[in-house]
Amino acid sequence: MITTPQPSGAIPDRTIYERRESAVRSYARSMPRQFGKAEGVWMHDDQGGRYLDFLSGCSTLNYGHNHPILKQALLDYIAADGIAHGLDLHTHAKRDFLATFEQLILKPRGLDHRVMFTGPTGTNAVEAAIKLARKVTGREMVIAFTNGFHGMTLGALACTGNATKRGGAGVPLSHVAHEPYFDYYGPEVDTADLLEQRLADPSSGLDAPAAILIETVQGEGGLNAASPEWLRRIAEIAKAHGALLIVDDIQAGCGRTGGFFSFEDMGFTPDIVTLAKSLSGMGLPFALTLLRPELDQWSPGEHNGTFRGNNHAFVTATAALRHFWGSADFQRDVERRGELLAMRLGRIAAEHGFEVRGRGMMRGVNVASGEFASAVTAACFDAGLIIETSGAHDEVIKVLAPLVIDDAVLAAGLDILETKIREAMAADYAVAAE
């Protein structure tokens, strides 16, 4: 079912990248091919290779590459000379998105949040969220968590845990406290208790926070999934201490964990929510920040940006909402596939003494070594499977398959992963035995 990419004919000239593209490029290094086409769960290089995509643009392509319904909606819009860029002017595309988002997502979930269109990347949505929290509360300090990832611009980067990423800031990253996430010290220590104690103690040294910023499943930080009880506690602690609860749902949202939001049915409502990645549904840049109406204390243009109305993204996002979120079928499918994924990863983990992480279709296997994990993902790539790592030491092999993937294709991809892990384990034993 999955073809191994065999170079056929001439290997394309890629020296332009070496010559001109900044050294900051990263994914292109572990996947040294040039891609031309993609559809559904498949990507094609120009050497005749076909790859099953278990990365999905870091969960940007939850509905797969070039979904025909989304693509057609965009083609029709462009053909009719629809507005492509209009600053934040009112357009038909924006109206349709807002009305559909209200009808299919916000209202059924009892959310009365306002929709703030930020710049088009996730980090913009996070910047807007923490800026607003500081403005509204008059406080400076934000509580973020160990292994959290929130983006690369200074405010969001200050909330990110990863030392390598932080090191690029060039200036002090301040006004953020990084508290231990769920199970950071293992299951014996309730880190919500620790946070509560520190906030209640006037001598703990922890300033009163403007916000508590959290991912319900840490996407880049190793697929740590917090329990609903713990998250509910964090929500209560935020409320008790006058801090706003910001859920960064940029990676875990848009269906990745089953529901449209990752915190659904957990018994709390975030004050602020950030969305990006799969929001446009087709990989087009589009982010937004949701805020409870009483928090909407912005003055016009106070948080601005030229690209706060990607109308093409509005069109594809609207088509995605209508196609996938108009009934409960899609969510049921995703939940079923998530169970399938958990079962298969559980089998792999049990065979080698590894540990499964995550929730829904956002799961992975902790192989305890970044070196081992990257050997496995490299072998998977050579076998036609695109898959990446996550975690403090890149020690978690993470499966971010498109949510629309066929069960049989999902199983075939997991077969490759299972085989490559087994082979890498055997090679490790062989080396150890020498």
Ligand X SMILES: *Cc1c(COP(=O)(O)O)cnc(C)c1O
* Residue 244 binds to ligand X (criterion: CB under 6 A): no
Side-chain-side CA neighbours of residue 326 (13 Å)? 7
| Smallest distance, ligand X to C-beta of residue 220, A | 6
* Residue 276 binds to ligand X (criterion: CB under 6 A): yes
* Residue 219 binds to ligand X (criterion: CB under 6 A): yes
Nearer Cβ to ligand X (220/271): 220
211, two tokens: 């916000």
Environment class of residue 388 by beta-carbon count within 10 Å: exposed (0-12), middle (13-18) or buried (19+)?
Answer: buried
Kindly report the number of other CB atoms within 10 A of residue 432's CB atom: 7
Contact characters 277-296, ligand X, x per CB under 6 A: x-------------------
Nearer Cβ to ligand X (77/182): 182
Nearer Cβ to ligand X (245/383): 245
As a whole number of angstroms, the distance between CA 100 and CA 260 comes to: 14
How many residues lie near ligand X (CB under 6 A)? Answer: 15
Kindly report the number of other CB atoms within 10 A of residue 58's CB atom: 18
- With contacts defined by CB under 6 A, name the span among 121-129, 260-268, 392-400, 406-414 that binds ligand X: 121-129
The set of residues, in sequence order, having a beta carbon less than 8 Å from that of 149 and lying 6+ positions away, is 160, 161, 162, 165, 215, 218, 219, 220, 221
**Site for ligand X, residues 145 to 184, rule: CB under 6 A:** 149-151
As a whole number of angstroms, the distance between CA 195 and CA 191 comes to: 6
With CB atoms as reference, the residue minimizing the distance to ligand X is: 122
| Smallest distance, ligand X to C-beta of residue 250, A | 4
Whole-angstrom CA distances from 185 to 45, 162, 191, 230, 238 are 43, 18, 8, 14, 21
> Residue 321 in contact with residue 93, Cβ under 8 Å?
no
| DSSP label at residue 308 | S
As a whole number of angstroms, the distance between CA 341 and CA 307 comes to: 37
- With contacts defined by CB under 6 A, name the span among 193-201, 243-251, 261-269, 299-307 that binds ligand X: 243-251
Nearer Cβ to ligand X (139/277): 277
* Residue 144 binds to ligand X (criterion: CB under 6 A): no
Nearer Cβ to ligand X (45/249): 249
| Smallest distance, ligand X to C-beta of residue 218, A | 8
* Residue 263 binds to ligand X (criterion: CB under 6 A): no
| Smallest distance, ligand X to C-beta of residue 122, A | 2
Nearer Cβ to ligand X (360/384): 360
Closest Cα partner for 397 from 425, 417, 423?
417
| Smallest distance, ligand X to C-beta of residue 11, A | 31
* Residue 122 binds to ligand X (criterion: CB under 6 A): yes
DSSP assignments along 129-181, one per residue: HHHHHHHHH---EEEEETT----SSHHHHHH---HHHHHTS-S---SEEEE--
Q: Which residues bind ligand X (CB under 6 A)?
A: 121-123, 126, 149-151, 215, 219-220, 248, 250-251, 276-277
